Structure 1
Amino acid sequence: MAKTKATAAKTIRVRLFKSINGCQERHRVSVRALGLRKLNDVRELVDSPSVRGLVNQVSYLVRIEESA
Structure 2
Amino acid sequence: MEKGELKNIAADLDALKKLMVLSLVQKGFKQKQLASVLAISEGTLSSMFPKGLLKEAKGLSPDE
Under a length normalisation based on structure 2, what TM-score does the superposition of the two structures give?
0.31
Larger RCO, structures 1/2 (Cα 8 Å, 6+ apart): 1
Q: Select the structure that is richer in helix.
A: 2
Q: Select the structure that is richer in strand.
A: 1
Under a length normalisation based on structure 1, what TM-score does the superposition of the two structures give?
0.30
